[in-house]
Structure 1
Amino acid sequence: MKRQLHRKVVHELRRFLEDGEQVSPEQATDAFIHLVMEAASGAAGAPVEKWAAGNSLQPLFPAMYPEGFREKALQLLGGIPDQDWRLDPQLPGWLYQYWLTPEKDRLFRMFKSGAKASHGDIPAVTQLFTPEWIARYLVENTLGRLWSRFYPESGLISRWTYFDRSADISPDAPGGPEEWTVLDPACGCGHLLAAAFDVLMDMHLEAGIEPVQAVRIILNRQLVGLDIDPKAVDMCRFVLLQKAAAVAPSIIYEEVEWGIEAITREKGYRFGSLDRGESKAVSFGRAGASYEADPGRLLSRKYHAVITNPPYLGRRNMDKELGDFLDRSYPRTSADLFAAFLERCLDFLYPSGYFGAITPQSWMFLSGFEELRTGILTRETIVSLLHLGARAFEDNNGQVVQTVSFVLHKSPPSRGAAGSFWRLTEGPSSHKAEVYKHNNWWNTDVYKASQAMFRHIPGMRMAYALPEDWARLFGRFPPLDRYYAVKKGMDTGCNDRYVRLWHEVPQEQLSFRCTDPSLAHWFPYAKGGGPQKWYGNHYFVVYWRNNGEAIRRDSRSNLRNYAYFGRQGITWSTVSTGKPGFRLLERGFLFDNGGSCLFPEEGREETLLALLAYLNSEFTAILLSQMNPTLNIQPGDVARLPLDEALLLDARMKELGEACLRLAKAEWDESERSWDYVGHPAVHSCREDTVEASLRRSWEMRCRRAVETERLERAINRLVYSHYGLQPLYGYPDGEQEAAELPLLKETAESFLAYAAACLLGTYPQGIDDPAFTSSPLIRDSEWVPRLKVWLGQLWNPCDTDSNVEAVARLLGIRPKESVEQRLRRYFSREWYPAHYREFGGYPRYLRICSGPRQALLAYVTALRLTEEAVDEIYILCVQRREELRGATHEADEWRLDMEELDSFARRLKEYLESCRAGRGSLSQEDEDTRAWMDRHRSVFDC
């Protein structure tokens, strides 16, 4: 389907319908609902009034719109081809979701500023309609499993594409086909109920029932849908009526006794399907029984199948009324609205009924859902589960939701029963569907896991891909936190004020540079970062002057686990986008909530490097990914890892960890990100007679280091697997594995030039006394190449300078007809600074001075040396550049535009200096105000 076109049409229609001072949002939505029904009805060959007759559908176009407005609006909606309406009966529901998108975006922006969702916000916040293939999966594995219990030889089972053929058939099922009822307690526009209609029609036709009679049974007695949004309910009825009319056209003239109802506050229901109706033992679904559309009676009944895509809303975004209600009525599942719906849906089911849903995956793994998870795993049977991860929804409007779709049988799990678990976490929704269909047909790549196995795993985490001998390790060995203290770090209360990248602070105020401890204001701070292993991610420092006096006084701060500050341990990034990376935490560090740490108990300090090796093993990575396959590596997950202390006492384990640490530290310290960086290896440890030979030797050294690290890590994996008596899940450590990721020679040349730039700007002086070479905190763009040549001539034979420059340019890659100097100038003006900016997280060591978009003046300055004198020098450069332009030959328009840009830049500089001297700004960088100063004044210098 052309979803992009559909969204565009809805956007244009919204602007058109909301145009007018007298039109309220409610009236615009009413008009939209009417227009969508009318367009869909026209495509089906009948006016909307005929669809509404006798069927409780009241699509009325609001009277306040002027004459002719409706026709113009229908013309806009006519941008959607008729075939889209015919091929996708659920299209009205998709259009309604797109209609709600602006309101949903507005509410999510409000959540970021601390606002809460009230009852009226829930439809817009939580509308996320189920893709067709997932809807079919849920219905075929709930209603379809009821059918398969009674008719195991039916041909329907082979025709249902998404019926999980690997899952067991449950021995019990309630009722018979004509009595079966299916409920969606958050039906929205009916995506799931539409799929249920199709499956029920398959059953009735297979049983020999006439189409007209089958449609009557389904609409009047079998489909039940509830929702708090009356407009979505109208759309749901309309969608189902369209599907019914395609089978039995006469149905549009009949009175339908709808089981699709809005449960609103006006009807006395404050929280929709979560309200519990009056309990009555009333039969429902019996052939010939009269049916009264009463939400209260619908809420108090039992159903043979329940299917839903419940609303997702975390507790922190709920208002007090909803939060208090969940605490009272659903205390076990009050962490999220979807969890409360899971509990409620299981209440709706008959014993031996089936429940299918698509929800966030968090209930499978996170500790906050442990009680819900334990209840499900002990009282219900998992029949089939699709672990979908991200991008399961076709239209999610940028919201990241990691999801799972599953089917439960309402019966305790039998001994030896194993559910089917499918890992479909890669790719978009369409890719997941194709992978599932292919593997389901051939019954491949499906995990069979018994619920009894999950009892071995702390918190009954649903680590379905773990073999049972792996899972039993949690019971055989004590958890890691028996020997090591696993701790979260502090919250400063305002990181923008108290936390810096280390290069933003004057060297004399850093605790690891300061000669007088009493003058140390900033201390190393472990704050996560990327998935770096063994050593590194030493980016941050925290303002800890006078033992953190300022942070202690801040009411927003939380000095969690203060007793562990400064101790040696191991840290890792709580948020990880790849494999976990555990690193040594050296003495003198403080640590943050995002850089959780563990510390050896007294007497176990000698085992720290062996533990570091264990944590960086493949074995640990697999356990953590199975216990919690989210982006977060929580301290609790690390604390529960099974640990045999005898492994840590193995001298070989310590030796391997120490070797990996040594290699990682050498690699980290050869990067400009390190505060122990003293220069590029090509200039120091790998220096040869020529620059090219030096760079190649430096590159070869890094390659050898990467290969050696991989060899050592494989040895650690072998040792861990052997100790626990396990076989690797993904092949043997000595078998075929991915080769080490080796650095490129071009990357070595780029890092060499970045070092050269730092030297030319005076950051890393090389002891060159020649007066021809002078570093400067301020360099014009045109000065890079001449200064680079002088620098190279002082470090290598000056007679080889031209060949050395040419070699560097060649390693970078020269375009056809591009000279060596042009290539180097292109590197410094277009490649070096963006890479430097990214390398230092948006707070670079050097600032780019740019006069404007034409770049009539382009220069670079060391950020910490941007003093009043430096700004005066920039102003002088601007004046000099104007004089250069006057003496050069230019096209008149180009010359005029450059001069105008320079004049404007000169005025900004003068105004900036005057405001600073008048006290309205500040060029001084006082302790904790450094970053605020940089942010406040950066726009003056870089346009």
Structure 2
Amino acid sequence: MDTNRIKRFATEARNILKAGIAAKITTLGFDKNGNVAEENKPQLMQGGSLWNEQLQTEGFYYQWMSLYNRIQQKGINEVYEEAAYTWFNRLCAIRILLKNNLCSPVLAYADAARTPVIVDEARQGRIPQMKEELRQRLVELLDDDTKVTEQFAILITAWCHDNPIINKCFGSIADYTELLLPNNILAAGGFVDMLNHTEFITDEDFQSPELIGWLYQFYISERKDEVFAKKGKFEADEIPAATQIFTPNWIVKYMVQNTVGRIYLDNNPYETQLQKKWRYLIYNSECKIYNSGAANTTAQPIINSKLYTINYSSLEELKVADLACGSGHILNECFDLLYDLYIAEGYGRGEAVENIFRHNLTGIDLDTRAKQLSQFALLLKACQKDAAFADAHCLPNVLTMPVCDSYTIKDTLGHFVCAYHLDWINVDRKELEDAFDLMKDADSLGSIMRFEISQDTREHLVEAVNAYDAEPKYTEAFKNLIDGFRLILALTENYHALVMNPPYMGGGNMNGVLSKYVKDNYENGKSDLATVFVEMMGQRTSVNGSYAFIIPPSWMFLSTFEGLRKNIIENQSIESLLHLSRGVFGADFGASSAVIKNTSNANACGTYFRLVERTFQEFEQSHLRMLFEQTLANHDFKYNFKEYTKDVTELPYSEDGNRIYYPNVGQKNFEKIPGCPIGYWISNAIVTSFDNFKMDYYARPSKGMMPGSDYLKHFWEVSVNKIEKNVKSHEQSLKSDLKWYPYFKGGSFRRWFGNRTYVVDYLHDGEHVKQGDRNPAIYFKNNINWSKIASGLFSARIGEIGALYDDAACQCYVYDISNYEYILGLLNSKYAQIILWCKSQTFNYVPSEIAQIPVVLNPDITIIKTLVKQNVAISKSDWDAHETSWDFQRNELLSIDTDTYMENINYETEKHFEETGEHICIDPAAPKLGSLEWRMEQYKTKWERKFMQLHKNEEELNRQFIDIYGLQDELTPDVPLNEITILQQGEISIE
């Protein structure tokens, strides 16, 4: 399925329909703001109405007034959206039914004039069933061949009302919507023309229920952009567009097969045929959790005991749901798997479908349009299995938010109980009133609503719904009441399997109602709606049941979600997890899809797939699928992410590549890491290193200042005589009359020394910028600093006595100055990078994460201190060689002298010996100090020598720390040349 073509179709269709509807509203007398002059309103007359000096039917008057009232209620823009989507979904659905042989070709052209078949047949006397008033209007219109659009509007509206699938899935078309059928709907290039001659959607696409989801996702994509562009709280009617996103099918299959499929296999271990079909099923082998003191894999493992399984007596008892179902993609996959289970157990096709709809599968979404599409997609699947479902006699159980509140109970419950002769004497009405009172905000809260309903009350609700379904008398009178009952029942069910792609929305975008509710009810997940749903899923899953989700990976690492992780680690079991690179949903921030069993197991283990690299690299989602499938086929598969480009056609195995498959990971190990990050790739040896004192025992990592740009300048904008460099305390700052102080403000990836370009106004101890102060007690110290924001590796640098630090250039005050170089070396080591990646997978290296790096102080740190001092000196000489350094002295070519020449000769002899093992003697020629070419050659050699010395030192530092932490089997000391952070301006090229 070419989703790019489908996207183009959906967005073009939306714009064409909206423009046509806007033009139609104008012809009906409304201006662009939805206002209408009094003289442009129709007048009701006996037997008809008068509008625009023309005689219209009486029905036109009521349609027009209905449109007027709707515009006053919702606003003209919302009416544009409603009408455009009404015609989009119904006409697309008709085309899909046709392509699946479930209806006649009513939209097809009968002639070269683009007369739709439905109009052509009406002209020949074959008129579909409709109200008599409409029939009379139509008959009058049929006498005029120029009014084909008006004829089509009546006919297609009546056809939609008469077709069981369209009517029951999408409901009745509002009476005013017929008026808003665009005048150009049948024109060349109009929407019907697009449907009939689309080059965007193939016949194969039309056979796939997945098409519906993609059409909807792309249809609302521009609306989503509009919502995000406003940059504020999302109102209730904006939440669907802002939060809905379509999940790639292979990830849906992974989630469904490892929840619903796994539950079935646990109860039917000898089933083999279905296992072969479920290609994304993950097999967990024996779990190995080693004692915390073990640093090698020869220790005796603790074998994971078999987890408890769900017991059910028949398939009808298996409860499966998606409580934020969108357009139904996950529900469709659940349907397919459940259908296969029924057929495998000998059920007939029709019986299997009815059982799934009546007993097994539940969907909920707060967006009515999405609910309609879910029902349509599932009913289409049912018809593909058994054409008898074309009469829509059995509908999927997909719910949306009811229109009700506590007054619904007060006004109608008594009447309902009497009408159905129910014995509800002992029912706690307060429980129901509270539940219905909560549902007044259902359009903002959706499926996260928690109802405090007793089991006795719940059984009465089941009784009420069954009575209503058996005899749906007074349908409209009790519809809102029953809709509320159905939702309460669905949201108080304990599901055996929940599978979801929950909505994504940060706390800052939540409206007041939603924000307060999640803070009051979902403490562990409150920072994002996606994690609120994850917390909710654990609560709604039955004991030993399973739930699966796909959300951004921030829940795995950020301190914000530590409570959520702890609850999962302590009370549930992570069965498997896909850690995905960017690209699953386009230019996202990565994704994670997990399958979690609601079973508390001290020895729980999981299987993890690391389909990601730290560099936030973006992958085509089809390539992520390829990586996953190749790893499933070969658990030893490795891939070199650094070689990836989006135009590759294959992803070959690379011995130098990244490991992807991590089986038998004991989740209790996560608790040994501060903050409990899901650091599944961290070895046992690294985990045990957390038993040591942390960085905050030896130093104080902290935030810097936030003075604002008005108080900052580049140092070259200020006279050197006005920069204070000698202050070491607040007392001295108060006495100094100099205004400007050296200031570190983050900067590029650079280790050891550099990124010194700013000064800050801190006159008299910062009397102007006190509000931005963070940790004044450690100001003016010789702190280590680093750039907080970085998309790649961490890099630390020495500070400067008398300097101040920005919030983006955090600072680390080392308590004992004798440990200064050791701490700096550790921070720039591979070991520290591994720990930081475990703690965070975001763009930020925050002080709280630095504070948790384990520190092992080697008794003999002389060699490390020596290497660090050399690295600082080399990096400083590189920084000072440029005019952007305030310690710049002279151009480097002028600095070349005889000493440089002799040092270069020694370097060449040593280099030759290292490469060949041969000792050579180079007789120095007379230095050519007057030759620019000679100076340039010496300059290149000098900086190659410094660069390679820095590279050698960094690898030796890594070797030292690897030995100190006992990680010889885990890490190598190698440092790629492109990670050496001098010569960043391309002065010379080091191959």
User: Shorter-chain TM-score: what band?
Assistant: 0.7 to 0.9
Name which of structure 1's ranges 68-77 and 383-392 shifts more when overlaid on structure 2: 68-77
Q: Is the 8 A contact 1:54 1:255 kept in 2?
A: no
> 1: CA distance between counterparts of 2:609 and 2:330?
21
Cα displacement (A) at 1:402: 2.8
> 1: CA distance between counterparts of 2:890 and 2:623?
48
User: Which one of 317, 339, 350 corresponds to residue 201 of structure 1?
Assistant: 339
Q: Is the 8 A contact 1:530 1:577 kept in 2?
A: no
> Aligned residue for 1:702?
943
> 2: CA distance between counterparts of 1:688 and 1:7?
67
Question: Is the alpha carbon distance of 1:240 and 1:679 closer, same or farther for their aligned partners in structure 2, counting shifts above 3 Å?
Answer: farther
Question: Is the alpha carbon distance of 1:690 and 1:652 closer, same or farther for their aligned partners in structure 2, counting shifts above 3 Å?
Answer: same
> Aligned residue for 2:310?
173
> Aligned residue for 2:299?
none
SS at match of 1:307: strand
User: Which blocks of at least 5 consecutive residues in structure 2 are unaligned?
Assistant: 26-78, 104-159, 287-305, 406-435, 470-482, 614-618, 637-659, 728-732, 898-927
> 2: CA distance between counterparts of 1:63 and 1:643?
73
> Aligned residue for 1:677?
888
Q: Is the 8 A contact 1:304 1:349 kept in 2?
A: yes
SS at match of 1:105: helix
> Aligned residue for 1:356?
548
Cα displacement (A) at 1:600: 1.6
> Aligned residue for 1:921?
none
> 2: CA distance between counterparts of 1:528 and 1:249?
65
Question: Is the alpha carbon distance of 1:242 and 1:207 closer, same or farther for their aligned partners in structure 2, counting shifts above 3 Å?
Answer: same
Q: Is the 8 A contact 2:947 2:982 kept in 1?
A: no
Give the counterpart letter for 1:562 in structure 2. Answer: P
CA deviation string 1:195-242 (max 9, x = no partner): 111211222222222222222222222111111100010011111112
> Aligned residue for 1:63?
178
> Aligned residue for 2:877?
666
> 1: CA distance between counterparts of 2:403 and 2:891?
70
> Is 2:804 the counterpart of 1:590?
yes
> Aligned residue for 2:399?
261
User: Which one of 580, 590, 595 corresponds to residue 402 of structure 1?
Assistant: 590
> Aligned residue for 1:774?
none
Question: Is the alpha carbon distance of 1:748 and 1:650 closer, same or farther for their aligned partners in structure 2, counting shifts above 3 Å?
Answer: closer
Q: Is the 8 A contact 2:749 2:981 kept in 1?
A: no
Give the counterpart letter for 1:502 in structure 2. Answer: F
> Aligned residue for 2:329?
191
* Aligned counterparts, 1:246-645, within 5 A: 246-264=384-402, 266=404, 268=436, 269=439, 270=441, 271-277=445-451, 278-280=453-455, 294-393=486-585, 395=586, 398=587, 400-415=588-603, 417-426=604-613, 427-444=619-636, 445-447=660-662, 448-475=664-691, 477-492=692-707, 494-495=708-709, 497-505=710-718, 507-511=720-724, 520-552=738-770, 557-601=771-815, 604-645=816-857
> 2: CA distance between counterparts of 1:452 and 1:697?
57
CA deviation string 1:709-728 (max 9, x = no partner): 12111211121121222225
Q: Is the 8 A contact 2:750 2:981 kept in 1?
A: no
> Aligned residue for 2:275?
157
CA deviation string 1:103-147 (max 9, x = no partner): 322232322xxx212222211111112111111110011011112
Q: Is the 8 A contact 1:491 1:593 kept in 2?
A: yes
Question: Is the alpha carbon distance of 1:26 and 1:523 closer, same or farther for their aligned partners in structure 2, counting shifts above 3 Å?
Answer: farther
Cα displacement (A) at 1:631: 1.8
CA deviation string 1:61-83 (max 9, x = no partner): 82122465443312234342332
SS at match of 1:209: coil
Question: Is the alpha carbon distance of 1:310 and 1:37 closer, same or farther for their aligned partners in structure 2, counting shifts above 3 Å?
Answer: same
Q: Is the 8 A contact 1:523 1:589 kept in 2?
A: yes
Cα displacement (A) at 1:740: 6.0
> Aligned residue for 1:692?
933
Cα displacement (A) at 1:544: 2.4
CA deviation string 1:573-626 (max 9, x = no partner): 11111111011111122111111111022xx01210111001111111111111
User: Which one of 193, 196, 200 corresponds to residue 80 of structure 1?
Assistant: 200
Instruction: Tell me the percent identity.
Output: 27
Question: Is the alpha carbon distance of 1:740 and 1:367 closer, same or farther for their aligned partners in structure 2, counting shifts above 3 Å?
Answer: closer
Cα displacement (A) at 1:194: 1.2
Cα displacement (A) at 1:93: 1.6
> 2: CA distance between counterparts of 1:344 and 1:376?
12
Q: Is the 8 A contact 1:388 1:404 kept in 2?
A: yes
Question: Is the alpha carbon distance of 1:187 and 1:510 closer, same or farther for their aligned partners in structure 2, counting shifts above 3 Å?
Answer: same
TM-score (norm 1): 0.73
Cα displacement (A) at 1:523: 2.4
Give the counterpart letter for 2:695 in structure 1. Answer: L
SS at match of 2:935: helix
Cα displacement (A) at 1:541: 2.5
User: Which one of 69, 85, 95 corresponds to residue 29 of structure 1?
Assistant: 85
CA deviation string 1:344-390 (max 9, x = no partner): 11121111101000112122111111111101110000100111142
User: Which blocks of at least 5 consecutive residues in structure 1 are unaligned?
Assistant: 752-810, 812-943
> 1: CA distance between counterparts of 2:741 and 2:101?
74
SS at match of 1:218: helix
> Aligned residue for 1:791?
none
> Is 2:353 the counterpart of 1:135?
no
Q: Is the 8 A contact 1:388 1:432 kept in 2?
A: yes
Give the counterpart letter for 1:425 in structure 2. Answer: V
Q: Is the 8 A contact 1:165 1:440 kept in 2?
A: no
Q: Is the 8 A contact 1:10 1:98 kept in 2?
A: yes
Give the counterpart letter for 2:600 in structure 1. Answer: P
> 2: CA distance between counterparts of 1:309 and 1:561?
42
CA deviation string 1:751-805 (max 9, x = no partner): 9xxxxxxxxxxxxxxxxxxxxxxxxxxxxxxxxxxxxxxxxxxxxxxxxxxxxxx
Give the counterpart letter for 1:82 in structure 2. Answer: T
Give the counterpart letter for 1:274 in structure 2. Answer: I
Question: Is the alpha carbon distance of 1:290 and 1:132 closer, same or farther for their aligned partners in structure 2, counting shifts above 3 Å?
Answer: farther
Q: Is the 8 A contact 1:174 1:353 kept in 2?
A: no
Q: Is the 8 A contact 2:569 2:667 kept in 1?
A: yes
Q: Is the 8 A contact 2:878 2:983 kept in 1?
A: no
State the aligned residue count.
Answer: 729
Cα displacement (A) at 1:679: 4.0
Give the counterpart letter for 1:670 in structure 2. Answer: A
Q: Is the 8 A contact 1:423 1:446 kept in 2?
A: yes
User: Which one of 350, 353, 370 corresponds to residue 232 of structure 1?
Assistant: 370
Cα displacement (A) at 1:443: 2.8
Q: Is the 8 A contact 1:699 1:748 kept in 2?
A: no
Q: Is the 8 A contact 1:221 1:285 kept in 2?
A: no
Cα displacement (A) at 1:550: 2.7
SS at match of 1:404: strand
Question: Is the alpha carbon distance of 1:457 and 1:518 closer, same or farther for their aligned partners in structure 2, counting shifts above 3 Å?
Answer: closer
> Aligned residue for 2:228?
108
Q: Is the 8 A contact 2:743 2:804 kept in 1?
A: yes
Question: Is the alpha carbon distance of 1:746 and 1:179 closer, same or farther for their aligned partners in structure 2, counting shifts above 3 Å?
Answer: closer
Question: Is the alpha carbon distance of 1:746 and 1:152 closer, same or farther for their aligned partners in structure 2, counting shifts above 3 Å?
Answer: closer
> 2: CA distance between counterparts of 1:745 and 1:726?
31
Give the counterpart letter for 1:545 in structure 2. Answer: L
Q: Is the 8 A contact 1:385 1:405 kept in 2?
A: yes
> Aligned residue for 1:11?
11
Cα displacement (A) at 1:316: 1.8
> 1: CA distance between counterparts of 2:726 and 2:702?
28
